[in-house]
Amino acid sequence: MPIFQLTGEIIFPDPAFAEPNGLLAVGGDLSAERLLCAYSQGIFPWYSAGNPILWWFTSPRLIIDPQRLKISSRLQRYFRNSQMQLTINKDFGGVIKACSAIPRKEEDGTWITPEMIKAYQLLHRLGYAHSVECWNGEDLAGGLYGVALGKVFFGESMFSRVTNSSKFALIHLVQFLRAHDYQLIDCQMTTPHLVSLGALEIDGKEFRHRLKQLISAIKPDTNWNDDKNQ
């Protein structure tokens, strides 16, 4: 299938035209309008610094159902007994920059480029991008960030400087999403780490069907400002 070249118009090709590896389109920009248009269709940017922006729709798709996720008793015990503090949206900039600095296996450099950091910080200010922080005293020990639309949270990246800190951040996220009736976490890429935490793969068509049901309008969710654990 052809790789679509994006223009200045805020529009994407049908995700059904994505290559087997998930690549759908190239070009465009990282404006808030384009990013929100992409996420509403399950499309996300992923590319290396110095290269054109690449847009992906992967199938099968790794997801987590926050309403059904079962956390192991061992991890729950670690979570309850931990002295770490968990917050939401306290240090979005610190989280995304920490994610960009974590070395990834089989990757040179980072895919979280300076222009991506700038773009997602704008989404955060607009109320669409959110972070979960795990603190060891005053030190940022781990965390994650992503984009929320409708009843879906699109996970982007996570990092851990202390054992289990990113897992604690995910547990805190799931608890928050459950309390606010979110129905889906999009994990994008399949990784053994996420599968071990209960993520599962679904077909791309099923994923798109769920998105249409769960994203009725693109608007920020103010519930994220009401986290009681900060």
pLDDT in tens, 142-170: 999 999 999 999 999 999 999 889 989 99
Q: Helix 114-126 to helix 32-39 angle, to the nearest 10 degrees?
A: 80
* Pairwise CA distance, residues 216 & 40, whole Å: 9
Q: Same fold for the domain at 4-58 and the one at 62-226?
A: no
Mean pLDDT in residue range 77-84? 80
Q: Domain 62-226 falls in which CATH fold?
A: Aminopeptidase (3.40.630)
Overall fold of domain 4-58: Alpha-Beta Plaits (3.30.70)
Residue 197 has a pLDDT of 77
pLDDT-derived band of residue 3, with 50, 70 and 90 as boundaries? confident
- State both tokens at 109: 């450099």
Task: Output the pLDDT for position 191.
Answer: 83
Give the pLDDT confidence of 97-130 residue by residue, as tens digits: 999 997 665 555 568 999 999 999 999 999 999 9
Type of residue at 195: V
Q: In the chain, what are the domain boundaries?
A: 4-58, 62-226
What was the pLDDT predicted at 146?
Answer: 98
* Partners of 86 in the β-ladder: 134
Q: Is the dihedral of CA 19, 23, 29, 33 positive or negative?
A: positive
Locate tokens 């799931």: which residue?
Answer: 174
Tokens representing residue 72 in the block: 């192991």
Question: 133-170 burial by CB neighbour count: b if 16+ within 10 A, else e?
Answer: bbbeeeebbbbbbbbbbbbbbbbbbbbbebebbbbbbb
Q: For the chain, what percent of residues have pLDDT higher than 90?
A: 70
Q: Is the pLDDT of residue 226 over 70?
A: no
- Cβ count within 10 A of residue 106: 4
**pLDDT at site 230:** 46
CA 65 to chain centre: 14
Confidence at residue 109, expressed as pLDDT on a 0 to 100 scale: 52
